[in-house]
Amino acid sequence: MKIHSLDVHIVDLPTIRPHHLAMHTIVNQTIVLACVKSEDGIEGWAEVATIGGASYAEESPEAIKFNTEKYIKPLIIGKNPANFGAISYLISQNVVGNYYAKALVEAAIIDLAAKALNIPSYELFGGQVHTSLPVAWTLASGDTGKDIEEAKECLAAKRHNIFKLKIGMGDPKKNVQHVLKIKEAVGDQASVRVDVNQAWDEVTSLYCIEALEAGGIDLIEQPLIHWNHEGMARLADRFKVPIMVDEGLGHIQGAHHIAKQRAGNVFALKVGKAGGLIATKKTAAIAEASGIPLYGGTMIESSLGTAICAQLYSTIPEIAFGTELFGPLLFKDTITTNAIEYENFEIKIPQGPGFGMTIDKEKVRHYSRDAQYSTATSHR
């Protein structure tokens, strides 16, 4: 079996409410889809997501699409998808950086390879350890009363008992008080965590983390700018509450450097930032060898991207801090005909061939920016 074609589509999906981060507020999330087709017509699909165009990462959705089609596509046509590791290595030898684009293509090839064998993709990464994983929810209304009400509704429905608050925007002291009131309201029923998205300096972090630690907050995510490894190491050494590395964690060499410096004591895994599923598994191995616990992160992917992450995370023995794979719950619509399932505070790992999701091509056409693809699909 050989790869015959690769198509890339940029899709904009509306969210159920604004999702606030320090660098951007999401009301429409942009995802990039890839479809790799074999000569006998089997399709492998994959997704990566970025946030706010180029405000979160160096690769914009438009750059991911262009560079995939221009520079990566010629490298994979005619190759056997079963050799996805060798193909990923070939791409790495010919394309510098472009981690999201590499992750997109690699995942599509893995989906194709697994479908050809009629097995779930996690079987290609050593097999499933977890059938479900804990999943966090972000409280983001900005109103303390509304956030408390939402948290209690999630607890009552047994949907989430881990809550994250994005506190990188606005007055840090007021944000800390907002978080502490929510923690007081939910008590020991839930884990409450914060994500600063690199917005604080070290002085601000010292005051705020001290207050958050005293108030029972369980995790502080990326308080400092991504390059400030020394500052992150000082914070991790000073406080008992774990300091998690997110934006500071990218390729595997960087993961090794952070582990050596102890520039944080939890790693947030993200498939797109690492450059693919293979690299993410290697990052997890670096963390395991360094005694650093893991968190299964998200880039706010839709159902397909969430399935990709969930299947890989299910092969990692210890995900001590759970996952943040709530993306599908944030969108008004979906690009797959089947849904990600959530119950008993956990995400259920999708089963079935490939990543276990079936693409709804009409929905892709509806939300796609690609007019040519929209026209072609409508005439099928």
CA–CA distances in Å: residue 235 to residues 170, 221, 223, 230, 243: 22, 11, 9, 9, 7
CA dihedral 238, 244, 247, 248 (to 10 degrees): 50
Tokens representing residue 170 in the block: 């606005």
In the chain, the N- to C-terminal Cα span, in Å, equals 25
CA angle at residue 116 from 113 to 120, to 5 degrees? 70
Amino acid in the structure at residue 61: P
Name the strands in the sheet holding 25-38, side by side, starting at the edge strand that comes first in the sequence: 3-20, 25-38, 43-49
Report phi then psi at 345, rounded to 5: 70, 15
Phi-psi region of 222 (alpha: psi -120 to 50; beta: other; left: phi over 0): left
Residue 260 among the catalytic residues: no
- Selected catalytic residue, list 164, 166, 273, 281: 166
CB neighbours of 345 closer than 8 A, spacing ≥ 6?
Answer: 134, 135, 158, 159, 160, 161, 162
Nearest-angstrom CA–CA distance, 133 and 166: 22
CA–CA distances in Å: residue 23 to residues 101, 175, 179, 214: 22, 16, 20, 27
Nearest-angstrom CA–CA distance, 222 and 297: 13
Catalytic residues, by residue number, are 166
